[in-house]
Structures are given as C-alpha cells and as structure tokens.
C-alpha cells in the first residue's frame, strides 16, 4: 500500500521504526513524549498515542509509568526481521516482476550497487 494511503498512525509508527533501525533511538533510549512527537510531526496526540500503543503491543517499547516509553531490548533486531519478511513477501515479488518484464540482467543491478 502506498505511503499516502496508509493511515497516519501507521505512517508515524513507520517513522519511529525507521529511527530505531537507523540507530537514532537505541535500545534503552527514551522515545519523545506523545505530545512532543505530535508537535514535531504536526499530528494529533491521539494519533501518536495509537502508534505508540502498537509498539507497546509488539513488545518493542517498555513503559515506565510517570517517566516515559523506552526502546525495549532486542527491538531493533525484531523490527529488522519484520521488515525483511515484509520486503521478501510483499515488495520483492513486485520488484522481481518488473525486472523480468523489462528483461534487466541481474548482473547490471549489482554493477549499480
């Protein structure tokens, strides 16, 4: 599903996931508060809270009452595995089809890496 068609809370979740995968938020780091992240992203705090709730349900963050949310141990590895699976199951078949349809030699792709 194109990014623009995804619900806003999933787009926000993806931004946070990207930050974890890129190392901007490391295991044990505190995430911005719901209000701070909402202000930064120009989003409704309830929408941000829904995105954060997903992370909590997935066990990717831990909550310290009265303190905040923190990136859980192993979160980056779990996210990376989820992203790999999604790429191989959802995106790669489409990309492979384009490569075949355009008769692109795989060697040409590796030359461009």
CATH number for 82: 1.10.10.10
> Cβ-count burial of 20 within 10 angstroms (0-12 exposed, 13-18 middle, 19+ buried)?
buried
Residue 60, pLDDT score: 95
Give pTM, 2 decimals: 0.81
Residue 96, pLDDT score: 94
1 pLDDT more than 70: no
Number of domains in the chain: 1
At 15-40, the pLDDT tens digits run: 999 999 999 999 999 999 999 999 99
Give the dihedral sign, CA 90/94/97/103: negative
Confidence of residue 113 (pLDDT cuts 50, 70, 90): confident
Based on its alpha-carbon atoms, the radius of gyration of the chain, rounded to whole angstroms, reads: 17
- Share of residues in the chain with pLDDT > 90 (%): 88
Domain residues for 55?
Answer: 3-111
């Amino acid at each position: 599903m194109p990014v623009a068609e995804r619900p806003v809370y999933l787009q926000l979740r993806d931004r946070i996931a990207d930050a974890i995968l890129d190392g901007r938020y490391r295991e044990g780091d505190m995430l911005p508060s719901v209000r701070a992240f909402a202000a930064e992203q120009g989003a409704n705090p309830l929408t941000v809270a829904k995105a954060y709730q997903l992370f909590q349900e997935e066990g990717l963050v831990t909550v310290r009452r009265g303190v905040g949310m923190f990136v859980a141990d192993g979160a980056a590895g779990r996210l990376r595995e989820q992203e790999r699976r999604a790429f191989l199951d959802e995106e790669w078949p489409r990309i492979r089809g384009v490569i075949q349809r355009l008769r692109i030699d795989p060697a040409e792709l590796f030359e461009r890496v």
